[in-house]
Amino acid sequence: MGAKESGPAATSALRRFEGGDRLHPELRQVLEAAAGFPPIHSLPVETSRTGLAARYGGLPKVAVASVEDRTIMTAGRSVPGRLYRPACPAARPLVVFLHGGGFVLGGLESHDALCRQLCNRLAYPVLSVDYALAPEHKFPAAVDDCAAAIGWAIDNAHALGGDRVVLAGDSAGANLALVSALLLKAKGLSVSALALAYPVTDAPDPTRRSYVERGEGYGLTAQSMRWFFELYLNDPAEATDPRVSPLRSELGGLAPTYVLTAEFDPLRDEGFELADKLARSGVDVTHVHQRDANHGFLAWAGTNSPSALAIDMVCEWLSQKIP
């Protein structure tokens, strides 16, 4: 069990520190295996997408009761999705999962292994959303897709095998989960919990300590983050929009939230800032900091000890918050 640290309830989130103080050897091996690949920001978008799909395609996939590709009908368009059902037929919370990839990369296949792990470990149905990607569909297309898809999931939860809705996402997907929860809250809709892994909460800031310390050499780079935002936004001025940078939003009234951060990640500090702002806003927040992990490590589910531990912890938290 990792060390716990908690500050005053009004100013600081309950924190747990897990893992050693060096990058885990299994994750170091993942980085070394990718060392020969060009940086994603140096490649055409389609080449980066194809390369990402190839890297994740060989991950081990645990069995679930069923996997079904679905079409999520929203007001403006149809959004592809994939529904994973557990063996347990009883009504359980439905997890709506939003994948990472900088708003530019990723999809149903890149996070298939992780969604299977969540479905299997929780015994909850999981709906993965294949939202529109930039640069073909710039901001706010992904936000609109995700908010509409989550609203659809709330309306159709029972038909999908769920009795409540939980939002989960990693990186850019965590950003979209948080932003969607805020938009839905403004409309009087709510979800039961949020689970946010190494979230994008603000525009790239080269002065943040984590950008300086962890902006190169650990997978996601500071330069790649700038590239993602250049492709995602129509204009740099949009970076201050709370739908892009939810750290700038009023966060009060959100459901219980789990924030996972990784030490070897340029997004580390904005994750800490989010957890503390949630706490100051009166949100029930738990923050787990994985000291031996880098950005994106959950996507390698089933191949390394840190991801197994992180999945176990978030699943345990969800089971406690939503019995």
* CATH code of the domain covering residue 248: 3.40.50.1820
Environment class of 132 (CB within 10 Å of its CB; exposed 0-12, middle 13-18, buried 19+): middle
Sign of CA dihedral 81, 122, 316, 166: positive
Condensed to tens digits (0 to 9), the pLDDT of residues 110-147 reads: 999 999 999 999 999 999 999 999 999 999 999 999 99
Angle at 105 between CA 293 and CA 98, to 5 degrees: 70
How far, in Å, CA of 283 to CA of 200, rounded? 19
Give pLDDT tens digits for 263-274.
999 999 999 999
Report the percent of the chain where pLDDT is more than 70: 96
pLDDT value for 2: 55
**Cα separation of 178 and 38, whole Å?**
31
Q: For the chain, how many structural domains are there in total?
A: 1
77 against 304, higher pLDDT: 304
Which pLDDT band, with edges at 50, 70 and 90, does 97 fall under?
Answer: very high
**Catalytic residues, which ones?**
171, 265, 295
Kindly report the pTM of this predicted structure. 0.95
Strand arrangement of the beta sheet that strand 162-170 belongs to? 3-6, 14-18, 285-294, 257-264, 193-197, 162-170, 92-98, 126-129, 78-85, 66-73
Q: Which residue, 112, 108, 98, 91, is CA-closest to 157?
A: 91
| Token pair of 160 as six digits | 């999908």
- Which pLDDT belongs to residue 12? 61
Mean pLDDT of the residues in the chain:
93
CA distance 201 to 247: 5
Tens digits of per-residue pLDDT, 139-160?
Answer: 999 999 999 999 999 999 999 9
pLDDT tens figures, 179-223:
999 999 999 999 999 999 999 999 999 999 999 999 999 999 999
**What is the extent of the structural domain holding 160?**
3-321
pLDDT at 224 over 60: yes
Q: Rounded mean pLDDT of 8-31?
A: 79
61 pLDDT above the threshold of 70:
yes
Instruction: Count CB-CB contacts under 10 A for residue 241.
Output: 17
Give the whole-angstrom CA distance, residue 130 versus residue 148.
12
What is the per-residue pLDDT for 6?
A: 39
Residue 282's identity, in one-letter code, is G
Give dist(CA 107, CA 52) in Å, integer.
10
